[in-house]
Amino acid sequence: MTVVRTARDRAVTTLTLDSPTNRNALSAALVGELADALTRCGKDDETRAVVLTHTGNTFCAGADLREPPHPDAFVGLLRQIVELRRPVVARVTGHVRAGGLGLLGACDIAVAGPEASFAFTEVRIGVAPAVISLPLLPRTDPRALARYYLTGERFDASEAVRTGLLTASGEDVDAVLAPVLDGLRRSSPQGLAETKELLTAKVLEAFDRDAADLTALSARLFSSAQAREGMTAFLERRDPAWVV
């Protein structure tokens, strides 16, 4: 079954994560299909910009613990979003957890509605937000990341805007998006591509410098005993052994 749907309207291609049974978790299938869809967008002269959105009440629940992608594949997907010579805009009307926040960090613009909530839940299952830090650390308030990385607390869209995780939020996410998409449609393809390259230079430096080390860290942590306990507890809907 297809888990990423594609539609285009007036030079904006919308990619919709459509795997509600696992809350759009980052399975190998979803990562692969999204990467393929982005490749097509990059080759499509009619696509001025890309909107990344979702079905259901969850934008992305993070890694699919039953069918996880290889860490290299996920890093490649994040880099692909950053490098794509079209702006990528996240449209969020639901929950975002763990690796899903990496998708937001890789996007150029991100907007959310009042139903959205966010949490870096990695520490609660015994791992760390390793590879998602590649786009997030250069773009997000470091004090805010320290708090939310270390505690796994949930926060709302207004706080996500304050920290730099989101560009904007509002009661009607499509009303917030309207002037953004209008501006992108009025901009030249060359102007958008070259301006995006300026904006993403520091992010790509982080990928060049740190991707291999963070991928190795992620793989090591996910294979650890504490991560096995954390993931088992999550799937069994119980507290892991270290909770006091």
pLDDT attached to residue 176: 98
In this predicted structure, the answer to whether residue 70 has a pLDDT above a threshold of 90 is no
pLDDT at residue 68 in the model: 85
In a domain, residue 181? The reply is no
Kindly report the backbone phi and psi dihedral angles of residue 200, in degrees, each rounded to the nearest multiple of 5, phi listed first. -100, 0
pLDDT for res 65: 85
Banded pLDDT at 114 (limits 50, 70, 90): very high
* Position 11 pLDDT exceeds 90: yes
In a domain, 180, yes or no: no
Q: What does the pLDDT average to over 51-70?
A: 94
pLDDT of residue 71: 82
Asked if the structure places residue 82 within a domain, the reply is yes
Residue 144 has a pLDDT of 98
Question: Which domain, by its residues, includes 238?
Answer: 1-171+188-244
pLDDT at 76: 97
- Model confidence pLDDT, tens digit, residues 215-238: 999 999 999 999 999 999 999 999
Query: What is the reported pLDDT for 172?
Result: 98
* Structural domain total, the chain: 1
Stated pTM of the model: 0.96
pLDDT digits (tens, 9 = 90+) for 149-197: 999 999 999 999 999 999 999 999 999 999 999 999 999 999 999 999 9
| Beta bridge partners of residue 99, listed in sequence order | none
Tell me if 129 is assigned to some domain.
Answer: yes
Is residue 195 a part of any domain in this protein? yes
Whether 101 is in a domain gets the answer yes
Residues in the chain: 244
2 within a domain of the structure (yes/no): yes
Q: How far is CA 8 from CA 41, 84, 200, in A?
A: 10, 17, 25
Choose the weakest-confidence range: 34-38, 69-73, 220-224. 69-73
pLDDT for 55 equals: 97
CATH of the domain at 159: 3.90.226.10
Asked if the structure places residue 55 within a domain, the reply is: yes
